Amino acid sequence: MSSILTNAGATSALQMLRSLDSQMFGAEREVASGLRIEQASDNAAYWSIATTMRSDNGALSTVQDALGLGAAKVETAYEGIAATTDILAAFMAKVVSAQQDGIDKNKIQEELEQLKQQIVSISNSASFAGQNWLRSDMQGQASEGGAKTSVVSSFNRSEDGTVSVGTIDVDLSKLALFKNGGGGILQKEPDPDLGYGLGTIGGLLGFSTSGYGDVPGPVFDQPFTITKFDVVTVAFSVGTSNDTFVITKNVVDQALGGQIGYGFDGDIESTADWAKVLLQATFLNKAPPDILFAAQGGAPNIFFRATIPLAAELITVQPPVHTRTLPPEGIDILDIDVTDPDIDFPTITLVLDEMQQKVISAGAYLGSLRSRIALQEAFGNSLADSLDRGIGRLVDANMSEASSRLKALQVQQQLATQSLSIANSDAQNILSLFR
């Protein structure tokens, strides 16, 4: 049926043309962007996955940069270690030659001093990006392994969506030629049991007093540690009787070992602790016939009180005598002096060889780190390529298919336009009937 009010054919053709225009817009966008899924509305699930993977790929790129920075630090430290190995070999040769009779040791010492300065120069200059692995501040490190640093090595996303950053740990205690406080590869070892240090021995160092009755004792000033190498001996008298009391780590352990928090480490941390130690030394560790006085108090002050039979006698406390027998600490390379008449050449030679072996081990450690970083860099590059391919499979357009579809849609659009033109001519055909 034909009508001059409603042109069903034109309506149908126009509807088809609108649909084709929408499809052509999508096809043209796909061809222009190269993406099959460009927006979340195209495919929310695939768009979400691809966007997350692109973010991860960006993080991986940053990790690769961090690995490059870490590799540069390792290379810098390795060059310093390699140069130090050569210098130590020359140093050993000079020390061996100094043991010959009739040789001028002063001249050899001059050469050794130059080698020492070169080693120090290497350790000071082996720095990259503000980090020097050959000269570390190891003070304040609680772990037995010493100071550590790390190189960012990976970016990880778990199945539940949480992310983490992997690192390659670097133990600087294996690399540091010099450490603040000692203990570097080329230094003697520090005493591991010095704790807080004796300081004023809780106010006892330099302390002396005399008087009748309750005599003021030492004023505790700060925490300190009695180590297994410390012996503090205090001479005193009550009337005409003379004696001494001795403070050692064993005495401290006896006095404080039963209280909560004491770790049998010789640490004396308060006036109350110090009063218990003094009581242990002056009273509890002595047989009754030998007890002349005892330390009392501790909250807040310490005082000495004679036993009842001697309560009216004069108490005199002499300044303490402190002795310490330190363990073998090794030798500091900067202290070696072949002109010293008391030098122990066999020991020096042995220690130098140990130093050289430690430096060689440090070089091997750095070599293994360099190899691992290189492997991680290669894996990171492969992983980034894999992510790129995975993203492409999800969202990239098939350009051949998209181009063919666009051409087909263009043809359909032309046909739809002609159909619309034909449908619009129906009204003219009807009008011609009335002429």
Q: What is the pLDDT of residues 136-145, one digit of tens each?
A: 754 433 333 4
Q: Three-class SS of residue 147?
A: coil
Residue 388, pLDDT score: 80
Residue 356, pLDDT score: 93
Residue 196: pLDDT over 70:
no
Distance CA 121, CA 371 (A): 27
Banded pLDDT at 263 (limits 50, 70, 90)? confident
- pTM (whole model) above 0.75: no
Better-predicted residue by pLDDT, 421 or 352: 352
Distance CA 269, CA 256 (A): 11
CB 234 within 8 A of CB 204: yes
Better-predicted residue by pLDDT, 386 or 329: 386
User: How many other C-beta atoms can be found within 10 angstroms of the C-beta atom of residue 56?
Assistant: 18
Distance CA 234, CA 216 (A): 15
Residue 181, pLDDT score: 64
Question: What mean pLDDT is reported for the chain?
Answer: 83
Residue 297, pLDDT score: 87
* CATH value of 47-190+331-387 in 1.10.10.10, 1.20.1330.10, 3.40.50.620, 1.10.1760.20: 1.20.1330.10
Out of 132-136, 316-320, 416-420, the most confident range is 316-320
Residue 191, pLDDT score: 57
Residue 419: pLDDT over 90:
no
- CATH 1.20.1330.10 in the chain is located at 47-190+331-387
Residue type at 259 in one-letter notation: Q
Residue 434, pLDDT score: 66
Q: What percent of the chain has pLDDT over 90?
A: 33
What is the mean predicted confidence (pLDDT) over 267-282?
Answer: 92
User: How many other C-beta atoms can be found within 10 angstroms of the C-beta atom of residue 102?
Assistant: 4
Tens-digit pLDDT profile for residues 102-119 = 889 999 999 999 999 999
